[in-house]
Amino acid sequence: MDDIWLYCPGCKRKSRIKVYENTTLIHFPLYCHWCRKEFIISFVDKKMLMEKEKEISG
């Protein structure tokens, strides 16, 4: 089984989330510590789809 690191859809840097090739995520809140944004993503069949972007204030 291969490990896959998820990348931020905003800044394209590697996130702190690691998934496997058989992982399925639906409406997952992916937070990027680099650009400080939260993205709602779906990850199915090794493909990531961004659904919504949310800027974190504070």
Q: For the segment 11-49, what is each residue's pLDDT rounded down to a tens digit?
A: 999 999 999 999 999 999 999 999 999 999 999 999 999
Q: Is the pLDDT of residue 55 over 90?
A: no
Identify the band that residue 58 occupies on the pLDDT scale cut at 50, 70 and 90: low
Q: What's the domain count of the chain? A: 1
* Domain residue limits at 23: 3-55
Q: Reply yes or no on whether the pLDDT at 57 is more than 80.
A: no
The dihedral through the CA atoms of 52, 10, 23, 29 has a sign that is negative
Per the model's pLDDT, the better-predicted residue between 21 and 57 turns out to be 21
- 3-class SS shares of the chain: helix, strand, coil, % to 5: 0, 65, 35
